[in-house]
Structure 1
Amino acid sequence: MASRRSGRHEGEGGVRFSRTLFIALLVLSGALIAFDRPETRSAGFASFRSGFTDIAAPVLELAAQPVRGLKNIGPYFRRQGELAEENARLRQQLIEARYWEDLAYRQRDRIEVYEAALEIVSPATRERIGAWTVADPEGPFVRARLIGRGRDAGIDDGYPVINLYGLVGRVFETGRRSARILLLTDLNSRIPVMADRSNARAILVGDNSAFPRLDYVGRDADIRPGDRIVSSGDDGILPRGLPVGEAVETRDGGWRVQLYSDQAPVDFVWVWPYERIEAPDDTEALPAEEPDAAVENADEAVDAEPAPDAQPTGGEE
């Protein structure tokens, strides 16, 4: 037992470092860390270090390839399963999209027939104007964007602006080569909207939050959570039926709208040229007939009436 213990102590003592050597190495490491600064390095040391890195980097990269491949085996097969599920889901969405595309084409043809019969020129037939947006932190409004196209491209004040998903806002200031867009979330934004399901009217009011609120909603308004909110066109400024968002009920019983346009960054937008519907002018009403002309017309109408049959005055022959 004594021999075993002595051998173990000798083996343990052989692998131990002396305390003096340990402290010296610690001091040397601290000195190297403290004095290893880029401005104090010599040119020779810097060139040696960069050369050693150039030689060691390919070797380390080659040695890391097998380890990296082994680590990626599990995630790779998991990703293959996720891709298969995503592929099946996208195929189903593609089938549904083709159905809705065919339905849209049929509805378009039907609308064209109705418009031709009624001699209606729809504003939706006008071409949209594409433009890129940039941030506008120094504008007069909090929620606004600046686009790189203006009057030279056919843009004017009041035109609605949409992105791939829905209504973004409207143009409120137009220059020759630029224009500003007032977003729906701005404090100064007010547009009339309605629920697509029930035609319940309201005013979409921005308050600098991500969810603008619905004001002037009737007490018995038929609005439900998730209802599709679109522009109503009641003010004649925006066309009817532009997609805005979905209705969201608040805790206090109010209503807000989750905007469709927030599904993607507002980078590229389309400006929709729209001619406002103007009210008829009273001065353009049909002029009233003069009294003398009206009397003459009445006299002519009386003279033109056939005389009643005369009653016989004599007896029968």
Structure 2
Amino acid sequence: MKTRNGGTVVRIAAPLWALLNRFYFLLLIVAAVALMVFGRVDAVVVDHARARVTDAFAPVLDVLSRPAAAAADVIESIRQLARIHGENQRLREENARLLQWQQAALRLDAENRSLRSLLAYRPDPAVSFITARVIADPGSAFLHTLVVTAGRRDGVKRGQAAMAGQGLVGRVVQVGEWSSRILLMTDINARIPVVLETSRRRAMLAGDNTERPRLMYMQRGAEVIEGERVFTSGHGGLFPPGLPMGMVTTGGGEPRVVPMVDLTRIEHVQLVDFGIPGGLAAEAVQPGAMQ
């Protein structure tokens, strides 16, 4: 009797299983659509059901994820150890090279001190600077100047260099108690001795109230290189040598200098005291710059 009932059940279930296998993809699509429609109709019930299913499977997922997380941690630890080993080896080699350079530097420093004592070398004075904010640009077609928030009480002196960004922009020509006026290198009163970096030719940088000051008093027939950098030469005692000012451009038929700094967008400047005697710097400032 049991065998007959079991055989009957098997005979009945076999066609149903075959039918299910044949249309299971369609049934899944229908079930998904039904869930979507049901979710649109009653979203609260669907959210509660989703939350309960998530809560039910969360412990199982947590248990299953732990071995994978542990294996990932072990792999990461092995990789980190390999990286640390390589970094340690690199640092050892770098340390050995630095020790060699340290010995060379100490030897050269001792030799340098010995040579300076023989030559009675006088070191350059310490450089100090004051950072100030630009508060006014009273420039016009005939005057290119800036007013900054630093004056005599801050240690500003007439003739000090005004630096901004990567290069020299001008010099202090008027000092008040709370503010100072800077004459820009593009002003028609500005005259700065300069030297070209590659050719080592000397010239005078002369402002003419344009964005690109001229190079004057160069040797007759001297050729300049486009893009060659221009530095202060140190002649006249106005500025120390080596301050960057700009790059040469030959467009327009005469050599001019494109300043390192956009002089129309200066917000802060450094007023640098290079320790140059005040008399030389003051004498280099032309009276016309005070107008």
Structure 1 length-normalised TM:
0.48
Name the counterpart of 1:256. Answer: 256
- Contact 2:169 2:263 (8 Å CA) reproduced: no
CA displacement, residues 195-230 of structure 1 (integer Å, 9 cap, x when unaligned): 012221111111111111111111143521111100
In structure 1, what is the Cα distance between the partners aligned to 2:134 and 2:142? 16
- The answer for unaligned runs of 5 or more in structure 2 is 1-104, 281-291
- Contact 2:139 2:146 (8 Å CA) reproduced: no
- The answer for unaligned runs of 5 or more in structure 1 is 1-105, 280-317
Name the counterpart of 2:269. Answer: 269
Task: Please state how far the C-alpha of 1:251 moved relative to its aligned partner.
Answer: 3.2
Name the counterpart of 2:169. Answer: 168
Q: 1:120 aligns with which of 122, 133, 144?
A: 122
Matching of residue 151 in structure 1 with residue 146 in structure 2:
no
In structure 1, what is the Cα distance between the partners aligned to 2:247 and 2:139? 31
- Contact 1:200 1:222 (8 Å CA) reproduced: no
Q: Could you say which structure has the greater relative contact order, defined with CA pairs below 8 angstroms and 6 or more residues apart?
A: 2
The alignment of Structure 1 onto Structure 2 pairs a total of residues equal to: 170
Counterparts in 2 of 1:189 and 1:138: CA distance versus 1, 3 Å: closer
In structure 1, what is the Cα distance between the partners aligned to 2:250 and 2:121? 42
Match of 1:197, SS state, is coil
Counterparts in 2 of 1:250 and 1:139: CA distance versus 1, 3 Å: closer
Matching of residue 200 in structure 1 with residue 201 in structure 2:
yes
In structure 1, what is the Cα distance between the partners aligned to 2:208 and 2:141? 15
Task: Provide the alpha-carbon RMSD of the alignment.
Answer: 3.0
CA displacement, residues 155-211 of structure 1 (integer Å, 9 cap, x when unaligned): 111111001110010000011221100001111111111101222111111111111
AA matched with 2:259 = L
Query: Of Structure 1 and Structure 2, which has the larger fraction of its residues in helix?
Result: 2
In structure 2, what is the Cα distance between the partners aligned to 1:134 and 1:255? 33
- Contact 2:128 2:274 (8 Å CA) reproduced: no
Match of 1:235, SS state, is helix
AA matched with 1:132 = R
In structure 2, what is the Cα distance between the partners aligned to 1:230 and 1:271? 18
